[in-house]
Structure 1
Amino acid sequence: MPPHAIHWPTGFVPGFTDNFCSNEVIVAGLSAAEVWPLLVTPALWPTYYANSAHPRFHDGRGPQLADGDRFYFETFGFPVEAQCTEYVAPSAGQPGRVAWHGWAGEPGAADRLDVHHAWLVEDLDGGRVRILTQETQKGAPALELARARPNPMINGHQDWLEGLVAKARRALD
């Protein structure tokens, strides 16, 4: 798998799901190490992303995500149960990666939503950082989101990226 691209699990490859969104920013003056803790600590999400609420871990885990952790949060009007499926902190020459499988609704229910939400955070030359987030979705709610204009997923995830960058910059002040 390419080191600078999202790793997609079987069943969630873009183009073969009901909805897909991709957002990316590249900014100067920040590093992956400065952004990473804000991204992998769900309790901080509501402090910079208004579309995230009530994050909590299951099984006494946290406060930062780790591979296999179960957690919960609310977003886009959905109560999302999630499990971290990939966690690799950024290191010299290697991007940080975090991803989770999230779901809302009961299996087989008409309102069931399943998502794979992945992030890649990497340092670039010139003191820049690249933050990429992509999400694939399956289920009737995903089809509705895909048809909505303006696209709520694209706009919501852009807000998340911009909030993350702004929070990281404020932490440097």
Structure 2
Amino acid sequence: MKTINWPTQYLPGTTDNFVSNEVIATDITLQDVWQNLVDTSKWESYYDNAKNIDLDDKSNNLLHFAEHFHFDTFGFPIDAQVMELVAPTDGKTARISWHGWQNGNKDTQFDVYHAFVIEKLDNTRIRLLTQESQIGKPAADLAKQNPNPMLNGHQAWLDGLVQASRK
């Protein structure tokens, strides 16, 4: 429960780009972090790199298992599907991951697997881990940039998630 369940083709170290970000924070709850992460209507309020979020299921703004959705991030229009969703029913750990893609030719095709693990630690601390593994020429181009925009962007996502969860 405390690590990412990687599909074989996205195994870190075998893809064109991989980033890992982690924050350990206090003064937040696992439930608040979870609600801010699965409620896509909140994303733009704490993460300025997620725009035009549109879920196939229009009944609410919550991600659920197998949900198809679309959003723009890092200048890419991404279609996605939730592949894993484990709410923090045990009060200790939550997980969510999605497969995202941009269809195109050999220069524009882009596939990602993005996952979060949220874990309750002792002394009222919460661990937030997000990792993303990417395949395609756009991913290889991002990996060559220094600093890596994905690394910085995902750190901003975690930092914003913590701040939103403290309110």
User: Which bin holds the TM-score, normalised by the shorter protein?
Assistant: over 0.9
Secondary structure of residue in 1 paired with 2:77: strand
Please show how residues 26-65 of structure 1 align to structure 2 within 5 Å: 26-60=24-58, 62-65=60-63
C-alpha distance in 2, partners of 1:98/1:69? 12
Secondary structure of residue in 2 paired with 1:120: strand
C-alpha distance in 2, partners of 1:56/1:80? 11
Which residue of 2 is the match for residue 92 of structure 1? Answer: 90
Rate the CA distance shift 1:24–1:120 in 2: closer, same or farther, 3 A: same
C-alpha distance in 2, partners of 1:12/1:76? 19
TM-score (norm 1): 0.92
Give structure 2 stretches of 5+ with no counterpart: none
Aligned to 2:103, which of 102, 105, 113? 105
Residue 165 of structure 1 aligns to which amino acid in structure 2?
V
Residue 58 of structure 2 aligns to which amino acid in structure 1?
G
C-alpha distance in 1, partners of 2:60/2:20? 27
Runs of 4+ in 1 over 4 A off after TM superposition: none
Please show how residues 1-150 of structure 1 align to structure 2 within 5 Å: 3-60=1-58, 62-92=60-90, 94-106=92-104, 108-150=105-147
Given that 1:70 and 1:82 are in contact with CA atoms closer than 8 Å, whether structure 2 keeps it comes out as yes
Identity of aligned residues (%): 46
Alignment size in residue pairs? 167
Shift of 1:20: 0.2
Give structure 1 stretches of 5+ with no counterpart: none
Residue 33 of structure 1 aligns to which amino acid in structure 2?
Q
Residue 116 of structure 2 aligns to which amino acid in structure 1?
W
TM-score (norm 2): 0.96
Residue 84 of structure 2 aligns to which amino acid in structure 1?
E
Given that 1:61 and 1:69 are in contact with CA atoms closer than 8 Å, whether structure 2 keeps it comes out as no
Alpha carbon RMSD of aligned pairs, Å? 1.2
Shift of 1:90: 1.1
